[in-house]
Amino acid sequence: MWYDTIETGKSWSTLWSGYTICGECQGIRMTRGTCSVCGDLPDSVESRTMEIDGRNVAVCFAVPGAEGRYEDWVYLRLIEQEWKRPEHLPTPSLLDHRERLSPRASIAILFWSYFETRIERLLRACLCNVPPRLADDTLQRYSGIGIRIDRLYRILFETTYWDDLRDLEHGAVADLLRDVQQFRNEFAHGNPISITDDLVKAVVEKLKDEHESWIAVFNRRATRKNGLRDRIGQCLMAERLPSTASLIQNLCNAIMTQTQED
């Protein structure tokens, strides 16, 4: 499993370590290495000497982290905690079912909530050049996760989140996400045994792949180089320029009229 390679003492939230936001394209890139979106070269990791109050001080290389947020750390740690805790067997009455309830079903539910928060962030990043009230209204109108990754995604990008994943060679992640969405919905609507051990195991096995697939989609859709950010900004500018020109013209006319009257 991918987590066997994590350094001793570190948690699964270390998945978000080592990234930063590219200063050129706003994509998510590794702190060391060329940006995979725009090709920007890595910063020097050597410490630098700065003069502070007349003294030469060595300043270590440091960059801000990338998209990983507090809730990401919480979700990943909770998923890890659930996976590692001793398995608690369901009560005998639950074992009466042919397909027994997974004792770790909560992992699939936690994972789906984690996924929903990142889709919200992805779409907000894509809409960052849209006036905030319009972006908020759009996300409120398309508030369900299913409609966001399908209908809203089609409106914005003429494709779906699933097809983006497949284009980016993350088809196995797309299949897993569809399964989790379906069985989590069944779980929430009266069929708790829909989340099986096999589904939970698949979620944990692909947690790192899914993490990387989300970054790949973010870099395709939410950067200055590839995304809506600049296209929307350009459209807004194009819309605003005529009205700005007209405003300036009106002001000029008003000043001319006032001058003639004086």
Nearer Cβ to Zn ion (203/215): 215
| 37 binding Zn ion? (CB under 5 A) | yes
| 179 binding Zn ion? (CB under 5 A) | no
Nearest distance from residue 54's CB to Zn ion, in Å? Answer: 38
Around Cβ 107, how many Cβ atoms within 10 Å? 23
| 66 binding Zn ion? (CB under 5 A) | no
| 203 binding Zn ion? (CB under 5 A) | no
Nearest distance from residue 31's CB to Zn ion, in Å? Answer: 13
| 156 binding Zn ion? (CB under 5 A) | no
Instruction: Determine the interface stretch with Zn ion among 18-26, 102-110, 121-129, 144-152 (rule: CB under 5 A).
Output: 18-26
Nearest distance from residue 65's CB to Zn ion, in Å? Answer: 16
Nearer Cβ to Zn ion (38/130): 38
Q: Which residue has the tokens 């639950």?
A: 94
Instruction: Determine the interface stretch with Zn ion among 26-34, 50-58, 180-188, 250-258 (rule: CB under 5 A).
Output: 26-34
| 40 binding Zn ion? (CB under 5 A) | yes
Nearest distance from residue 159's CB to Zn ion, in Å? Answer: 23
CA–CA separation, 155 and 208 (whole Å): 29
| 25 binding Zn ion? (CB under 5 A) | yes
Nearest distance from residue 35's CB to Zn ion, in Å? Answer: 3
| 28 binding Zn ion? (CB under 5 A) | no
Q: Which of 160, 176, 164, 174 is nearest to 108 (CA)?
A: 176
Size of the site for Zn ion (CB under 5 A): 8
Nearer Cβ to Zn ion (129/138): 129
Q: What tokens does 90 get?
A: 């369901």
CA–CA separation, 262 and 254 (whole Å): 12
Nearer Cβ to Zn ion (35/195): 35
Q: Applying CB under 5 A, which of residues 13, 19, 20, 38 lies at the interface with Zn ion?
A: 38
Nearer Cβ to Zn ion (38/216): 38
Q: Applying CB under 5 A, which of residues 19, 27, 83, 204 lies at the interface with Zn ion?
A: 27
Q: In the complex, which residues of this chain contact Zn ion (CB under 5 A)?
A: 22, 24-25, 27, 35, 37-38, 40
